Amino acid sequence: MKFWLWIILALSLGSCTFFTQTKPDRPIICFTFDDQHHNVYHLARQALSDYGWRATCFVNSGAIGASGLLSLQQLQELHQDWNWEIGGHTLNHEDLAELDYSEAAYAIEQDYQNLVNWGFNPRSFALPKGVCPAAYFPLIKSHYDYLRGSTDLAMHVPLDPDVLGYLPFQSGWTAQIITDRIKRGIINGESLIIIGFHRIEDPNSIYNANCPIDVFREILSFVKQQNLEVLPLAEAVQKLK
Ligand SMILES: [Zn+2]
């Protein structure tokens, strides 16, 4: 074989190795918890830490400490002691489409400032109700690097950090709905799958559970069986860049 052909072969093999190192062929899984429900601290944290995993909480800082919701101390423990990511979600879950510019700016920026003042170094933002008028988009991007919407998108590298999709768990769902989605992502070679939760409940809870803890544990067990990596959102996106 001619020398230059060897060079081309060597270069292409090298780029293949590089490609497989920077583009995992199995998805990273992110678990996100919206709206600061207190059982995330008691139940989800324990279940995740059994596997050595961490997650992202998207919180409305104006509601921290209210009845049934995470206290500031619990949130700080999640961040400092358990190394969870805390992201923004507006001050009081405002519907940005209903606000004028100054109201939207306050809902986004005061929330961000609260999270910074509490020591959370917020880098990710989840759109409340999944909507953001285009005029307010620069407000969010001036503070945050990663934006999660409310649509379940197939995400492949290179990721668009402004359009991150997710699958929100719905009350009454079985674990299989989530595990089937993850299986599909594995088959399709997706790079990132974000699974979102709100409340994690004790099976004996009198409330309409968003996700019973045994269903949540079944999902975690499947992810472990599949040997998938689990990371908070900002770390996952950073790794896939
Ligand atoms: Zn929310």
Give the CA count within 13 Å in the CB-facing half-sphere of 37.
19
Q: What is the pLDDT of residue 25?
A: 80
Exposure letters 118-139 (e unless 16+ CB within 10 A, then b): bebebbbbbbbeeebeeebeeb
239 Cα–ligand 1 center, Å: 25
**Interval 73-83 mean pLDDT:** 98
Beta carbons of 193 and 183 less than 8 angstroms apart: no
Cα gap 132→93, rounded to integer Å = 12
Cα 150 to ligand 1 centre (Å): 10
Q: How far apart are the CA of 83 and the centre of ligand 1, in A?
A: 21
pTM of the model: 0.89
Phi and psi torsions of 33, nearest 5°: -125, 120
Q: Does 17 score more than 90 pLDDT?
A: no
136 phi, psi to nearest 5 deg: -95, -10
CA 15, chain centre distance (Å): 31
Q: What is the set of domains in the chain, with CATH numbers?
A: 27-240 (3.20.20.370)
pLDDT digits (tens, 9 = 90+) for 179-188: 999 999 999 9
pLDDT of 5 strictly over 80 = no
Distance 107 CA to ligand 1 centre (A): 13
Instruction: Please give the average per-residue pLDDT across 131-160, as a whole number.
Output: 94
Q: Averaged over 179-204, what is the pLDDT?
A: 94
Q: What is the pLDDT of residue 21?
A: 46
Q: What mean pLDDT, rounded, does the chain reach? A: 90
d(CA 214, ligand 1 centre) in Å: 23
**Alpha carbon of 66 to ligand 1 centroid (Å):** 15
- The three-class DSSP label of residue 103 is helix
Cβ(108)–Cβ(95) under 8 Å?
Answer: no
Q: Would you say 182 and 228 are in contact if contact means Cβ atoms under 8 Å apart?
A: yes
CA of 1 to the centre of ligand 1 (A): 61
The pLDDT, as a whole number, for residue 7 is 44
